[in-house]
Amino acid sequence: SQPALSQTLRRLEARIGVPVTARAGRGVVLTEAGRVLARHAETVVHAIDRAADELDDLRGLRAGTVRVAAFPSASSTVVPRLLGGLAQAHPGLRFGYLEAEPPEAVAAIRAREADVAVTFAYPDDPDDPDARALDGLEVRPLWRETLWAVLPEARAL
């Protein structure tokens, strides 16, 4: 509204110590100080727009770095497949990698040194310290692993 605009201009002029507008007939024109501010305002608006675009890219996984922590044996098997799939789905992402045992990987998440950790815990073991370390974190299972007992044919258990 006109009164709100006038009040905003008065506050701006009081803050910078010079008028930014002048009356010209029945209208208002920018003073030299007003033109300087307008020129800089365009730069600021463009910078804010660029920052908003970058934030949208981060939210949409179109840009940025994802820091991954994983246990050593996953480094040569699981992690390359997972990161390959992510890189294909989100080509603007970059990846950082930290090889860490499960307790260190979880600690890296808590310390915000990693964004995601590929780790494991022993199921149904209440004494497993790694399982308790996951309290308060979002945990998503990637898969269930099948283990086999392999014996010579003639051997019975």
pLDDT single digits (tens) 98-128: 999 888 999 999 999 999 999 877 666 666 6
* Predicted pLDDT at 155: 67
CB 74 within 8 A of CB 118: yes
Say what the alpha-carbon torsion angle 122, 125, 127, 133 is, to the nearest 10 degrees.
50
Quick one: 16 and 28 in the same domain? Answer: yes
Residue-range definition of the domain harbouring residue 21:
2-58
The answer on 84 and 32 residing in a single domain is: no
Q: Is residue 24 part of a domain?
A: yes
Instruction: For residue range 27-66, list pLDDT tens digits in order.
Output: 889 999 988 888 888 887 777 777 777 767 667 777 788 8
Residue at a domain's end among 12, 34, 58: 58
Q: Within this chain, do residues 16 and 51 fall inside the same structural domain, yes or no?
A: yes
Q: Can you give the pLDDT at residue 31?
A: 92
Name the residue type at position 65. Answer: T
Higher-scoring residue by pLDDT: 134, 28: 28
On whether the CB atoms of residues 137 and 119 are closer than 8 A, the answer is no
Residues 42 and 70 in one domain: no
pLDDT at 58: 65
Looking at the structure, do residues 45 and 80 belong to the same domain, yes or no? no
**Which has the closest alpha carbon to 96: 110, 116, 81?**
116
Average pLDDT over residues 15-38: 89
Q: Does the residue 148 lie in any domain?
A: no
Q: What is the overall mean pLDDT for the chain?
A: 82
* Domain tally, the chain: 2
Nearest residue to 119 via CA among 127, 88, 109: 109
Q: Of 36, 33, 4, 40, nearest to 17 (Cα)?
A: 33
Instruction: Please say whether the beta carbons of 100 and 71 come within 8 A.
Output: yes
- CATH number of the domain bearing residue 6: 1.10.10.10
Q: Is residue 89 part of a domain?
A: yes
Percent residues over pLDDT 90 in the chain: 19
CATH number, domain with residue 108 = 3.40.190.10
Q: Decide if pLDDT at 91 tops 90.
A: no
Residues 33 and 73 reside in one and the same domain: no
Q: Do 53 and 73 share a structural domain? A: no
